[in-house]
């Protein structure tokens, strides 16, 4: 087993990253337990709404910065002059975008609070998040550089330190300030990540301070940003919006307690999805960016489905068998219904991992049309199926909708890549997918 890990680059990254994930997993279970004890199902739902909003704003502000930067870095890594132009272009473009978005959040904080929490009293937390948004974007830029340089060990160490500090602050604030503390912890967690990353950046100045202010908003790089940004913008808006609408629909048709159980199920999923999704973003994205032929991509797919998918399936089976123990550790008895509906989340996540094998290729190659189709089909399917199933089956209906939407997505993406399978002996030509 150890020998196979050493020989497989993807497993190597995932296994090393598992140290960070193990820490995150343990801290995540403890922090979820704290939320369930001190805030209950309704508090879980409110925190879920704010996290969805924060994720949406972060995604809109960064607009695919990681994917586009990794692509351009790989293509120009031997040209220091061009790298300087790329650094400056990304830094100033995304800083301006985040500043504009921050102003929007500050102006409309009361309305946003009413939509998320059905009251204006939490507008303070929203404004605080808006003020920090430019710093959050700079942090994302720094992390994109580490990712492009394949500095996996530094990323893992940085993640561990950040997660431990965030856990400490979150625990203190929730225990002492209840829901106000929980919402504040979401914002302060972002600030802590910025500060921790900045300490690392100061130690690695040679990687980061390569800015060239000559011709720095270069059109050809802005065009690449535009392609990736259009994809990221769609995901940034449609994915969190879908979750927020479904949550509000569950509250309207059933109760905020049911919405909290649905959020708890999503949280449970994040415990095991974290190790795989983070490992993929660290290794798979830069790897795909370096591929030049269809045959190369087929070889990478073969490795993915031979090693990575069976490993993920094994983890899912273990999670299902041990779900009672994990749920007892992470939640209170008020969340016991998660045990009854979790199977739909697990099945949906399995389909999602298989879909990502092709989805990352679409992102890396900036296939905007395909990306838009996939995102819209998944989220619209998820939403419409939830509207139909939630009134009939409550939160189980929402999870059934998640599974069905992932099944539709997987079938669609297989159809998009059908030529790859219908032509087993592809010539060594440039990538068409």
The tokens 């922090």 sit on which residue? Answer: 31
Whether 74 and 292 have beta carbons less than 8 Å apart is answered as no
Report CA-CA distances (Å) from 163 to 53, 102, 364, 409.
20, 25, 28, 32
How much is the pLDDT for 6?
45
Assigned token pair, 212: 């060239």
pLDDT tens per residue across all 433 residues of the chain: 444 444 455 555 555 556 666 777 778 778 888 888 888 888 888 888 888 888 888 877 777 666 667 667 767 766 677 777 777 777 787 788 889 989 999 999 999 888 888 788 888 889 999 999 888 888 888 887 777 776 777 877 888 888 888 888 889 999 888 888 888 888 888 889 889 888 888 877 666 555 555 555 566 666 666 666 676 677 777 888 899 899 989 988 988 888 888 988 988 887 778 767 766 766 666 677 667 777 878 888 888 888 888 888 988 998 889 888 888 887 888 888 888 889 999 999 999 999 988 887 887 776 778 888 998 999 999 999 999 999 998 889 999 999 999 999 999 999 988 887 776 554 444 444 4
Contact 21, 274 (CB under 8 A): yes
Provide the pLDDT for residue 94.
79
User: What pTM was estimated for this model as a whole?
Assistant: 0.71
> In angstroms, rounded to a whole number, what is the distance separating the alpha carbons of residues 372 and 377?
8
Break the chain into its structural domains and give their ranges: 2-422
**Which residues are within 8 A (CB) of 69 and not within 5 positions of it... i.e. 6 or more apart?**
86, 90, 141, 144, 145, 148
DSSP state of 322: T
- pLDDT of res. 49: 85
Residue 32 has a CB neighbour count (10 Å cut-off) of 21
Residue 409, pLDDT score: 95
The answer for 217, left when phi > 0, alpha when psi is -120 to 50, beta otherwise, is beta
3-class SS shares of the chain: helix, strand, coil, % to 5: 90, 0, 10
d(CA 99, CA 250): 34
DSSP β-bridge partners for residue 430: 293
Q: H helices of 204-291, where?
A: 205-208, 219-253, 256-279, 285-290
Q: Kindly tell me the burial class for residue 4, based on how many C-beta atoms sit within 10 Å of its own C-beta (0-12, 13-18, 19 or more).
A: exposed
């Amino acid at each position: 087993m150890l020998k196979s890990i050493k020989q497989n680059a993807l497993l190597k990254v995932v296994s090393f990253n598992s140290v960070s994930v193990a820490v995150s997993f343990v801290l995540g279970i403890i922090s979820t337990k704290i939320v369930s004890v001190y805030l209950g199902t309704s508090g879980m739902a409110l925190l879920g709404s704010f996290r969805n909003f924060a994720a949406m704003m972060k995604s809109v502000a960064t607009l695919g910065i990681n994917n586009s930067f990794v692509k351009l870095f790989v293509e120009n890594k031997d040209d220091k002059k061009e790298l300087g132009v790329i650094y400056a272009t990304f830094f100033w473009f995304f800083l301006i975008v985040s500043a504009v978005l921050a102003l929007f959040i500050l102006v409309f904080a009361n309305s946003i609070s009413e939509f998320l929490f059905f009251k204006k009293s939490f507008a303070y937390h929203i404004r605080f998040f808006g003020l920090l948004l430019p710093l959050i974007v700079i942090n994302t830029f720094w992390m994109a550089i580490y990712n492009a340089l394949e500095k996996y060990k530094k990323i893992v160490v940085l993640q561990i330190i950040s997660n431990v500090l965030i856990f400490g602050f979150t625990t203190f604030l929730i225990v002492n300030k209840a829901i106000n503390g929980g919402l504040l912890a979401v914002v302060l967690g972002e600030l802590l990540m910025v500060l921790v990353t900045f300490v690392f950046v100061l130690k690695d100045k040679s990687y980061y301070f390569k800015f060239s202010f000559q011709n720095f908003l270069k059109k050809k790089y802005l065009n690449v940003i535009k392609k990736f940004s259009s994809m990221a913008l769609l995901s940034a808006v449609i994915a969190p919006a879908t979750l927020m609408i479904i949550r509000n629909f569950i509250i309207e048709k059933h109760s905020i307690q049911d919405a909290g159980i649905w959020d708890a199920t999503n949280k449970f999923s994040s415990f095991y999805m974290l190790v795989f999704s983070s490992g993929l973003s660290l290794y798979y994205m830069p790897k795909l960016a370096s591929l030049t032929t269809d045959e190369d991509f087929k070889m990478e797919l073969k490795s993915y489905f031979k090693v990575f998918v069976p490993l993920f399936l094994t983890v899912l089976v273990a999670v299902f068998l041990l779900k009672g123990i994990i749920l007892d550790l992470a939640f209170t008895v008020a969340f016991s219904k998660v045990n009854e509906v979790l199977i739909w989340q697990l099945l949906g996540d399995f389909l999602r991992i298989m879909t990502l094998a092709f989805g990352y290729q679409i992102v890396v190659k900036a296939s905007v049309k395909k990306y838009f189709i996939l995102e819209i089909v998944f989220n619209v399917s998820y939403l419409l199926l939830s509207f139909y199933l939630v009134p009939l089956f409550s939160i189980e209906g929402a999870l059934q909708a998640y599974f069905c939407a992932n099944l539709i997505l997987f079938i669609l993406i297989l159809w998009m890549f059908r030529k790859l399978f219908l032509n087993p002996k592809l010539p060594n030509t440039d990538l068409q997918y």
